Amino acid sequence: MVESGQTVGLGTGSTVHFTLVRLAERVAAEGLELRGLSTSVETETKARALGVPLVTLDEVERLDLTIDGADEVDGDFQMIKGGGGALLREKVVASISAREAIVVGRDKVVERLGLGSLLPVEVVPFALPSVARALRALGCEPILRLREPAVAFLTDNANHILDCRFADGIADPRALERELDAIPGVVESGLFIDLAHVLVIGSADGTCEVREKPGLEAPFTFP
């Protein structure tokens, strides 16, 4: 998917690590010319160590492609992301991407979001108690993410994360995203609505299935 001359968003997590390694190999072996925009300090550190050229948001307005992972994705290409804590930066990068390619294992493809994964909600520390109450009113159980016992996890933006458990899953992800966005003190949620264009689904036997969202004007071509 990555072609020479592109500016590419680089997601966060264990899956994207292998993407970074492969891009670095292509830069060295093929002379691939690209610019990467990282979604976290972790990804930035790994990319620099591998020799992948990076830019910042000050330098780009639009990305040709972003490659990222997901905690869950449903049949409508809607996702839960943020297990690694980078949901805000990942959503910013996804929002300015012409294409978003999501790489997942087959177990991450689900019929209903929220049954197997908790939904991360990034919260300003001051507003943590009031946001937790508002989340409970929406029918979920919010759990403060910890870095270690009795020490709260902090995002790269110095915010907390409340991981939300929905007993029956999320029936209407689009409506829930709107409700979460309306809560004062919520910075961002891990619901990624209408942002994925391509799913790259890997299986345990090493095979890979590529699904493209219906209606793409210019589908990807593969060798």
* Catalytically active residues, by annotation: 90
Give which of 67, 69, 95 is closest to 8, Cα–Cα.
Answer: 67
Backbone torsions φ then ψ of 84, nearest 5 degrees = -90, 0
- Residue owning tokens 């994964």: 117
Give dist(CA 162, CA 154) in Å, integer: 11
Contacts of 200 (CB under 8 A, 6+ apart): 101, 102, 103, 104, 208, 209, 210
What Å distances lie between residue 5 and 17, 32, 36, 42, 62, CA to CA?
A: 21, 8, 11, 24, 13
The tokens for 203 are 């299986």
- Burial of 83-120, coded b for 16+ CB within 10 Å and e otherwise, reads bbbbbbbbbebbeebebbbbbbeeebbbeebbeebbbb
- DSSP letter assigned to residue 5: T
Integer Cα distance of 186 and 122 in angstroms: 6
